[in-house]
């Protein structure tokens, strides 16, 4: 019983819904747990970074035949990553995509011109830098994780939740 109260008071019940369920704590979470929303967003960011880094590596190859397909996938990842990325990078992809597609379809073993390679290198470097090194708080990275970032800030500053706040979202 003391462990259950502690988990509720500190917000750990919301952070670890499976453990809470095991301990018999019933959570009332409207759209799934906050940590699940955070993990979904981080998964999207990971996918964005992975495809950007893959494009950087593939620029070193002698055959750029499928670059347009990979840039299309990067474009989809940008859209899924939310407005922080789509407002900055969506137009940059759209500006050069047709030229990239035409170049990739010219021969059996096409090679992108130096200008397109430089553009793609700059684009992917900017994306990876922003995703990994932006220094933004969790709440600025995803609107769904506001409660999670509040919890992390409270815990890191030594604060705790009062029982009234906990009972409004968690019941025993």
Instruction: Judge if 52 and 11 occupy the same domain.
Output: no
Residue 128 placed within a domain? yes
**Pairwise CA distance, residues 32 & 157, whole Å:** 26
Same domain, 88 and 109: yes
Determine the Cα–Cα distance for residues 129 and 137; give it in Å rounded to an integer: 15
Encoded tokens for 90: 């969506």
In the chain, the number of structural domains is: 2
Q: Please tell me the predicted confidence (pLDDT) of residue 53.
A: 93
Write the CATH number for 40. 1.20.120
To the question of pTM greater than 0.75 for the whole model, the response is no
Full domain range(s) for residue 84 = 32-134
Does 158 have pLDDT greater than 60?
Answer: no
Range with the poorest average pLDDT among 9-18, 24-33, 162-171: 162-171
User: Distance between CA atoms of 9 and 93, rounded to whole angstroms?
Assistant: 47
Clarify whether residues 56 and 109 are in a common domain: yes
pLDDT digits (tens, 9 = 90+) for 74-89: 999 999 988 889 899 9
Beta partners for 171? 26
């Amino acid at each position: 019983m003391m462990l259950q109260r502690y988990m509720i008071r500190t917000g750990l019940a919301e952070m670890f819904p499976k453990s809470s369920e095991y301990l018999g704590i019933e959570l009332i979470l409207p759209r799934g747990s906050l940590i699940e929303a955070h993990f979904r967003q981080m998964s999207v960011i990971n996918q964005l970074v992975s495809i950007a880094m893959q494009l950087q590596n593939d620029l070193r190859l002698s055959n750029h035949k499928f670059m347009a397909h990979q840039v299309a996938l990067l474009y989809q990842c940008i859209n899924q990553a939310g407005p922080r990325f789509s407002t900055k990078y969506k137009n940059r992809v759209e500006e050069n995509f047709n030229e990239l597609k035409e170049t990739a379809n010219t021969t059996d073993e096409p090679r992108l011109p130096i200008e397109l390679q430089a553009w793609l290198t700059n684009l992917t470097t900017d994306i990876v830098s922003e995703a990994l090194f932006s220094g933004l708080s969790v709440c600025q990275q995803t609107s769904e994780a506001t409660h999670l970032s509040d919890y992390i800030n409270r815990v890191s500053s030594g604060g705790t939740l009062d029982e009234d706040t906990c009972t409004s979202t968690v019941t025993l």
